[in-house]
Amino acid sequence: MKTNILNISLLITMVFQLPLFAQNNNQQDFFNAIETNDTKRIKEMVIANPALVDSSLTTSQYLTSHTYFPIHLAIMRSSAETIIFLIDLGADFSRVYSRSALMSHTSKTSLELLIEYRNRDFLELIIPSVNVSAKAITSSIYLAYELQKYDIVEYLLEIAPDYLLPKSEK
């Protein structure tokens, strides 16, 4: 009797976890499509499951874990077209990437990732497509300067008045 209850309990646990495994495989396929710039596959998957466009994925290796969203993977590894495509599909540019290690935690905005991983040309293509706050522009100028990406500093200073000044002063 005890064995039957254990087997039934195990079976119930497996049945209820199947959709979770399927969703994780679907999510992993979605992230793979982003990494390979497969916009056709990305669109098909988002039409079938719109929640994928803002789903988070956490990976762990050794004592470090990364939590990122599709927009972050696209910023780090895809083309500008894929990034804009995700934004057009509804990806939230304000999502925050996080990395946790043994004794530290780092968070970065999508704009900070753009500055860290990409160049001015990328920013010029992406920034007009997203809603960026004045505070984000200001802190990004400092980040670009720290990273010695002076062409990005120059670009951010060029567009800063559009974000920082009241419309009447432009």
Q: Read off the pLDDT of residues 59-118 as tens digits, 9 standing for 90 and up.
A: 887 777 888 899 999 999 888 889 999 999 999 988 888 888 777 788 889 999 999 999
DSSP, residue by residue, the chain: -HHHHHHHHHHHHHHHHHHHHHHHHHHHHHHHHHHTT-HHHHHHHHHH-GGGGG--EEEEETTEEEEE-HHHHHHHHS-HHHHHHHHHTT--TT-EEEEE-SS-EEEEEHHHHHHHHS-HHHHHHHGGGS---HHHHHHHHHHHHHTT-HHHHHHHHHHHHHHHS-GGG-
Asked whether the predicted pLDDT for residue 8 surpasses 90, the reply is no
| Spatial contact of 132 and 111, defined as CB atoms under 8 Å apart | yes
pTM: 0.74
Which pLDDT belongs to residue 24? Answer: 65
Which pLDDT belongs to residue 168? Answer: 60
Could you give all domains of the chain from N- to C-terminal order, each with its CATH number? 2-131 (1.25.40)
pLDDT level of residue 41 (50, 70, 90 thresholds): very high
- pLDDT over 90, % of the chain: 43
What is the C-alpha separation between 68 and 148, in angstroms, rounded?
25
Asked whether the predicted pLDDT for residue 22 surpasses 70, the reply is no
Which pLDDT belongs to residue 38? Answer: 93
Which pLDDT belongs to residue 164? Answer: 77
Which pLDDT belongs to residue 52? Answer: 92
Residue with the larger pLDDT of the pair 166 and 158: 158
What is the C-alpha separation between 27 and 49, in angstroms, rounded?
10
Arithmetic mean of pLDDT, 16-32: 61
Arithmetic mean of pLDDT, 44-69: 86
